[in-house]
Amino acid sequence: MSSQHEVPSYLTPSDIGPWGVYLEQIDRVTPYLGTLARWVETLKRPKRILIVDVPIERDDGSIAHFEGYRVQHNTSRGPGKGGVRFHQDVTLSEVMALSAWMTIKNAAVNVPYGGAKGGIRVNPKTLSTAELQRITRRYTSEINIIIGPNKDIPAPDVNTNEKVMAWMMDTFSMNQGSTATGVVTGKPISLGGSLGRREATGRGVYVVGCEAASRRGIDIRGARISVQGFGNVGGIAARLFAEAGAKVVAVQDHMATVVSDSGLDIPALEQHVAAHGSVAGFAGADQVEDRARFWETDCDILIPAALEQQITEANASRIRAKIILEGANGPTTPLADDILHDKGVLVVPDVIANAGGVTVSYFEWVQDFSSFFWTEDEINQRLTRIMREAFTAVWQLSEEKKVSLRTAAFIVGCTRVLQAREMRGLYP
C-alpha cells in the first residue's frame, strides 16, 4: 500500500501502517466529494504533530525514557478531540491514523470537534501505579502547550481510564494555576465526569448493532455474537448484547480465546477478568489454542474491539459473521473490506459504530462548561438518539449511492469537514 501514497518525510515507507489504511479510505471516498474534492489534500496532512520525550524515575531509582505523541489531525470544525493510548506498539503512523479517524467520526455524528489522538509507546502492565502516575503527569506536562478545553481535549483509549484522566486534568490544572475540568473527558464522576461515559462506546456499538441487525432480519434475542477485546468497549458491548438475549459465543483477548456454544456467562467472565487480568482460564468455557480460529466462529455478529488491522486478506474470507461491528478503530484493512463486501458481509465502520464514546465525551464537556449535570437516563437517551440518527443517515446514503457503509460514513464526515474548511478559507 505504501507505494501508492505519498509518504510524509517523518514516516519511513515501511512505517506507513495504519496511516496508509486511512489514506486508502480517503482515496476511495474522494470521487464522491464533488467540488469539495479540491480541498481533500487537507485531510491527508495532519495539522499538528507533537513528539515528546517522556522521562520518568522508576521505582528502583533508574531513569527510563518513553516516546509520546499528540497529533491534531484537523480543527476545522472545533477543538481537537480524541483519546490517549498507552501501548508498547504505539507508533506515529498509528496515532496519525487514529487522529484522522477522529476527524471523520466527530463530523459523521456531528459533534463540534476536529480530530486528535495521543499515545505513549509503553507497556503500562510493566509499570507500578506510582510509575503510571509519573508517566501520565510528565506526558501531560509535555503536551500541555497544545491541549486545553478550547484547543484539544484528550480522553481514554486503550489502557487508559478514569484514573489516568484525573491525573491529566490535575497536571494541566496545576500548570495553568486553576482547575480546568473541561481539558479531558472520561474523568471520574466526582471530578466532573459524566454518568454513562464509561459504558458509552460499548452502548453505542450495541445501539448501531441493533439497527444493523434489524435491517438484516436478525433477531438480537438468540443472535450469536463473537467479540475480540474484552476491555472497555468489547466488555460493555458483550454485556449489553447478552442482557438483550444474545449469546456471546466467543471472546478473545491478547492472551486467550474462550468459546461456549450455549453462550458465555458475561458477568462471570467480567469477574474472572477483574481477578486474573485475562479471559484465559475462565472455567465456564472451552479455550481454543489456535488464535486464528477465532475468526472462523459461527456467529451472526462479529465485534472487533481490540486494535487496528486485525481483519486482513489473510482471514477475511474465513469470517462467517453476517455483520461486523467495528468497536475498535481501524480493525479492517481495505483489501479485507473488499473481500467482506464480495461475501455480502455488512461492515458497520468504526467511525459510526464506536462513536458513542466521543458523543458522551461531548456531553461531559458541555456539562463541565455549564456546571450542570444530567441524569444517566438523559445521557443514554440522547446517546441512543444520536447514534440511531447517524446510522440511519449513513445507511440511506449508502443505499442511494450504492456504496459501502464506510464510504457513506466518510462522505458524510468528509463533506462536513471540507465544507467548514472551504467556508473558513485559507487566509490567516
Beta pairing partners, 258? 251, 287
CA 232, 124, 259, 307: dihedral to nearest 10 degrees? 70
The label of the residue with cell 464506510 reads: 406
Q: Could you give the CA distance from residue 336 to residue 193 in angstroms, rounded to a whole number? A: 38
| Cβ 332 vs Cβ 83: under 8 Å | no
DSSP, collapsed to helix, strand or coil, labels residue 164 as: helix
Phi, psi dihedral angles at 332 (to 5 degrees): -120, 130
Angle at CA of residue 11, ends 5 and 12, nearest 5°: 85
Residue among 33 and 351 whose Cβ is closer to ligand NDP: 351
Give me the least distance between CB of 311 and ligand NDP, in Å please. 12
Sequence-separated (6 or more) residues with CB below 8 Å from residue 197: 185, 186, 357, 360, 361, 363, 364, 379
Identify which range of 138-146, 174-182, 222-230, 416-424 contacts ligand NDP by CB under 6 A.
222-230
Site mask, ligand AKG, residues 33-72, x = CB under 6 A? ----------------------------------------
CA gyration radius, the chain: 21
Which of 171, 228, 333, 398 is the binder for ligand NDP (CB under 6 A)? 228
Residues 75-94 that bind ligand AKG (CB under 6 A): 81-83
Residues 350-409 that bind ligand NDP (CB under 6 A): 354, 357
Catalytic annotation, pick one of 81, 105, 117, 187: 117
Decide if residue 229 touches ligand NDP (CB under 6 A). yes
Residues in contact with ligand NDP, total (CB under 6 A)?
25
The label of the residue with cell 474465513 reads: 318
Give me the least distance between CB of 234 and ligand AKG, in Å please. 14
Residue among 36 and 208 whose Cβ is closer to ligand NDP: 208
Which set of grid coordinates corresponds to residue 129?
501505579
Residue among 205 and 301 whose Cβ is closer to ligand AKG: 205
| Cβ 87 vs Cβ 123: under 8 Å | yes
Give me the least distance between CB of 219 and ligand AKG, in Å please. 29
Q: Residue 330 region, left (φ>0) first, then alpha (ψ -120 to 50), else beta? A: left
Query: Is 401 among the residues known to form the active site?
Result: no
Site mask, ligand AKG, residues 365-404, x = CB under 6 A? ----------------------------------------
Residues 273-332 that bind ligand NDP (CB under 6 A): 278, 305-307, 327-329
Angle at CA of residue 231, ends 226 and 234, nearest 5°: 30
Give me the least distance between CB of 398 and ligand NDP, in Å please. 21
Q: Which amino acid, 411?
A: I
- Cite the active site residues: 117
Residues within the interface to ligand AKG (CB under 6 A): 81-83, 102, 105, 155, 157, 185-186, 329, 354, 357-358, 361
Residues within the interface to ligand NDP (CB under 6 A): 156-159, 201, 228-234, 252-255, 278, 305-307, 327-329, 354, 357
